[in-house]
Chain A
Amino acid sequence: MSDKPVNHARAAEHFIEDAPHLQFHDERLWDMRQKRDAQMHILPEWQELREEASRIKEHTLSRLPEYLEQFETNAKKNGIHVHWARDGAEHNRIVGEILKAHNARNLIKSKSMVTEECDMRPYLAKQGVTVTETDLGERIQQLDDQLPSHIVVPAVHKLTADVAKIFAKDYHTDPNIRDPHLLAEAQRQAARPVILHADAGMTGGNFVVAETGTFVVCTNEGNADLSATVPNLHIATIGIERLVPRMADMGVFIRLLSRSALGSPITQYTTHFRGPQKGGEMHVVLVDNGRSARLGMEDFWTSLKCIRCGACMNTCPVYRRSGGLSYGAVYSGPIGAIIDPTFNERKYSTLPYASTLNGSCTNVCPVKINIHEQLYKWRRVLVQHHEMPFVKREIMHMAGKLMGQPRMYRAAIKATEVSLGTMPRFVLYNWLNPWGKHRENPHPVKQTFNDWYRKNRQTTKPAAAPETKK
């Protein structure tokens, strides 16, 4: 994996150039945000639910070892095989071994961000296992060889024509189809035989209940339930932070999850797996992959409360206008920008800057993660660790010097005002001024505030103007 910092701004520039895609993307995500708001307004208890969810999650994270052990004990009692993976490589090896032991060559799977994190598909391909994504959006992304661009709607950056083109190549459908119904039907028809002949099925898990040894999967298309019930071997990959203590806690989270994500009251399927089906075998792989280390980061551990609803992405003006792929990471949007640097600080050092710090992400988060504050704190950490782009670093350095010396600062302000009015564009708009890239510089003013102040308030002699002290 390359450690070169992701050039989010350049990738976003590329995304913005395509007006129809940009407009759809922006409007579609904003529509999801508005549907979420409509659901919120129906429920007077909404803020109470968020508070409950946050408290349950923080409690669980503070007792995670105990709850994981409780889950393991109960799951084993119910006949589930429980595995532990320190990182992606270990996870992939475990899954590969389970499949090999069953001589399973065809794996169908539903959407799971953890398997994306582990980069599992290429690993299994090398072992001779054919992996078929069964979620429509995820399948589109698989066929197009792209990461999901959104954690809930993976192909949200594509238009119908893009999907028609991809399906024409792999499903031999008409490339000129413009009716999404026909394309969804093509996916159903293509997936059915694969599902019926699969050797193994794989799902993720949205929640894990310690009390009962259950894991809960929330989906809409029915593909996860097909993947779990048609083959006799079911493997579930789940992040270790997904626990809740009691089954009764699920009420809070199910009421929040889909309302926050899509603005629908509940996902069409909410499935509780507590043990293998008749004649079947069930495995759960609990994946750490950096989570236990994140738990020890004082400013960032609460990001582990995340239930992956994507509300912060839908509301973020930067995400909506740059697209998930521009983040160059498995997790995009505001939540991605605060967890990606824990995977690779250098590579994802640019992402905490992909925000205006407007705080909207924090306001919509169903588990009350202070996302925008963590974005700000990451910037501080990255500066301390010298992970800052050259131009930004130099500008900050110069600004720091300038602002520390009032006389120089005032002279610079005056000079800037003069130059804004007189300099040619090529001097004012170039790579040393990223601010002016897509924006006009501010209009020059005739008089600086300091000049005005000296002229109009000279008599009052305030404590300001520190240079007169000298």
Chain B
Amino acid sequence: MSTARDEILQALRNNRPTPENHPLPPVATLGDLDASRERFITSLRILGGDVLEPVEGETLDQAILRRHPDARVICSNVPEAKGTLPVEKVKTPQDAATIDVTVVRAPFGIAEMGSIFLSEAQLPINSFAHLGQHIVVLLSVDELTANMHTAYQERPEFKTASYGVLMSGPSATADIQGVLIRGAQGVRSLSVWFT
């Protein structure tokens, strides 16, 4: 008895258009190749994210509290911030649910979209990026790539990470009467701290 797999593949082989008529085009690199911090910030703001600018002499922990004065549980997965909850306490996916502010470092950002990338390499557990109420993302200006074409071609993470998410601003919805709401079901805000 033939399996579903074999039947589907056979039907596709029988029915497909002539492959020779449809060659694969070379990989495209189109559009603006500006990878500047300014372009990244403009794009980030369009998607509802923002930059956390340090005030003179301020530490990252102080800046986070300035932005999120009501935060009680701050959990940092970077050495630059202490937070209030040691990251070792986050063991199961559900453990991240009590966090008010999550602090992580992104290996790179995309100037065209204001996107930051996170994978299991930057997270103690994948849900860490989503269950907290707010997220603060550290990003080096040297790790900006211009646009989606350059990102997919240059960044090895797309081929190595098991879980790789591009977050472009905070979660959002416009499902009720077209009203755009920032802070849907994932993080309510996303702030980038440049290093």
Contacts and interface: CB of A to CB of B under 8 A. Distances in A.
A192 B97 CA distance: 9
A420 interface: no
B147 A255 contact: yes
A154 B173 CA distance: 12
A206 interface: no
Contacts of A269: 165-168, 171, 186
A28 interface: yes
A225 B175 contact: no
Interface centre among A28, A69, A140, A265 (most CB of B within 10 A): A265
B22 A55 contact: yes
B106 interface: no
A229 B184 contact: no
A45 B30 CA distance: 7
B7 interface: yes
Nearest to B21: A62
Given A230-B131, A251-B149, A272 B176 contact: no
Interface stretch (B11-19, B51-59, B76-84): B11-19
A254 B148 contact: yes
Contacts of A463: none
A296 interface: yes
Contacts of A254: 148
Interface in B160-183: 161-179, 181
Given A180-B176, A222-B184, A270-B168, A64 B131 contact: no
Interface string A120-156: 0000000000000011110010000000000001111
B166 A266 contact: yes
Contact of B165 (A78, A225, A262): A225
Contacts of B174: 153, 220, 262
A443 B158 CA distance: 65
A119 interface: no
Nearest to B46: A265
A49 B174 CA distance: 27
A65 B175 contact: no
A187 B16 CA distance: 44
Interface in A273-287: 273-278, 286
Given A250-B152, A292-B12, A268 B177 contact: no
Contact of A225 (B15, B129, B147, B179): B129
Contacts, number: 270
A285 to B, nearest CB: 10
A28 B162 contact: no
B152 A251 contact: yes
A321 interface: no
A326 interface: no
A306 interface: no
Given A61-B16, A188-B184, A277-B126, A252 B165 contact: no
Interface string B35-47: 0000000010011
Nearest to B27: A248
B4 A153 contact: no
Contacts of B185: 134, 136, 187-188, 191, 221-223, 226
B28 A52 contact: yes
A31 interface: yes
A28 B163 CA distance: 35
B131 A62 contact: no
A226 B161 contact: no
Interface string A235-254: 00000100001111111101
B5 interface: yes
Given A45-B30, A48-B30, A293 B15 contact: yes
A86 to B, nearest CB: 5
B113 A63 contact: no
20 contacts: A52-B28, A64-B16, A136-B176, A155-B176, A158-B177, A183-B176, A196-B94, A220-B171, A220-B174, A223-B185, A225-B130, A248-B27, A250-B148, A251-B152, A265-B47, A266-B168, A267-B168, A268-B48, A268-B167, A288-B4
Interface of A: 24, 28, 31, 43-45, 48-49, 52, 55-56, 58-59, 61-65, 68-69, 78, 84-86, 90, 134-137, 140, 153-156, 158-160, 163, 180-181, 183-184, 187-188, 191-192, 196, 211-212, 214, 220-223, 225-226, 228-232, 240, 245-252, 254-255, 262, 264-278, 286, 288, 292-293, 295-296, 301
Given A84-B3, A222-B186, A268-B172, 20 more contacts: A49-B30, A55-B25, A68-B12, A90-B4, A155-B175, A221-B184, A222-B130, A222-B171, A226-B127, A229-B126, A248-B152, A251-B149, A266-B47, A268-B186, A269-B165, A269-B167, A271-B166, A272-B158, A274-B162, A288-B11
